[in-house]
A and B are shown apart, each in its own frame.
Chain A
Amino acid sequence: DGGITQSPKYLFRKEGQNVTLSCEQNLNHDAMYWYRQDPGQGLRLIYYSQIVNDFQKGDIAEGYSVSREKKESFPLTVTSAQKNPTAFYLCASSPTRNTGELFFGEGSRLTVL
């Protein structure tokens, strides 16, 4: 089945450690996105990529990094510079670059102890 796979679903880390969240899609979509979700808030855009080997910062990029070496893959690294990394992270892809219609993965919940 076509879709977006995020892993791991749950992740616990100590303060000061970098962690990488995986996102893979087999929908043949050009655009991919990372969002952060906190309780009672909407989704906030961290990074997005509209084509391989290119990506742009979203609204809350500080403390995060990404790469887009393959069309199918868009991993997110949460670095030690991110002041409040505990959150639910959602990866999404889009079949077009214009409308913003999104297909989401199941999410990864990161807890920093």
Chain B
Amino acid sequence: AQSVTQLDSQVPVFEEAPVELRCNYSSSVSVYLFWYVQYPNQGLQLLLKYLSGSTLVKGINGFEAEFNKSQTSFHLRKPSVHISDTAEYFCAVTYNTNAGKSTFGDGTTLTVKP
């Protein structure tokens, strides 16, 4: 079965420190990859996406992610976090055999402390 694993359920960091949120998926077939952010009691907002081309993808709010096909990973990084980055982050994968339906990870709660 196709699956997405976010390796950390909670990540606490101090303000201005770097952060990496890890995401692995189950298959090496052709995929589209996404990271979304969710603030409390709100919907999800797209942070960045990999559809094709360069494996290093830059998104909003200073986030970036790298697609690694051999390791089936799509880790999210930010060199210096702010208090306002505190939120839940979801990795999602669309397998090209799945008619546009995304599979989501369980989410990682990022807490930025002053």
A-side residues, CB < 8 A to B, are 4, 6, 31, 33, 40-45, 48, 50, 58, 88, 90, 92, 94, 96-107, 109
Q: How close is A103's CB to chain B, nearest CB, in angstroms?
A: 7
B contact set with A: CB distance below 8 Å: 4, 9, 32, 34, 36, 41-46, 49, 51, 90, 92, 94, 96, 98-102, 104-107
Do A109 and B46 touch across chains, with their CB atoms under 8 A apart?
no
Q: Give, as a whole number of angstroms, the nearest-CB distance from B93 to chain A.
A: 8
Interface pair A42/B94, CB less than 8 Å apart: no
- 9 A-B pairs with the lowest CB-CB distances in the bound complex, closest first: A100-B94, A104-B43, A42-B104, A100-B102, A43-B104, A104-B44, A42-B106, A99-B32, A97-B100
With both beta carbons as reference points, the residue of chain A lying nearest to B105 in the complex is identified as A42
Q: How far is the CB of B99 from chain A (nearest CB, A)?
A: 7
B44 contacts A98, CB within 8 Å?
no
Asked if residues B46 and A40 are in contact (CB atoms below 8 Å), the reply is: no
Q: What are the residues of chain A within 8 A of B106 when measuring CB–CB?
A: 40-42
| A90 & B90 in contact (Cβ 8 Å cutoff) | no
How far is A48 from B100 in the complex, measured between Cα atoms in Å? 10
Chain B residues near A109: list those with CB within 8 A: 41
Contacting pair A106 B100 (CB below 8 A): no
Q: CB distance A100 to B32 under 8 Å?
A: yes
Taking A102-B102, A109-B41 as known contacts, 18 extra A-B pairs with beta carbons closer than 8 A to each other, sorted by chain A number, are: A42-B104, A43-B44, A50-B99, A90-B44, A92-B43, A94-B100, A98-B32, A98-B96, A99-B32, A99-B51, A100-B32, A100-B98, A101-B32, A102-B34, A104-B36, A104-B45, A105-B43, A107-B41
Q: Whole-angstrom distance from the CB of B68 to the nearest CB of chain A?
A: 19
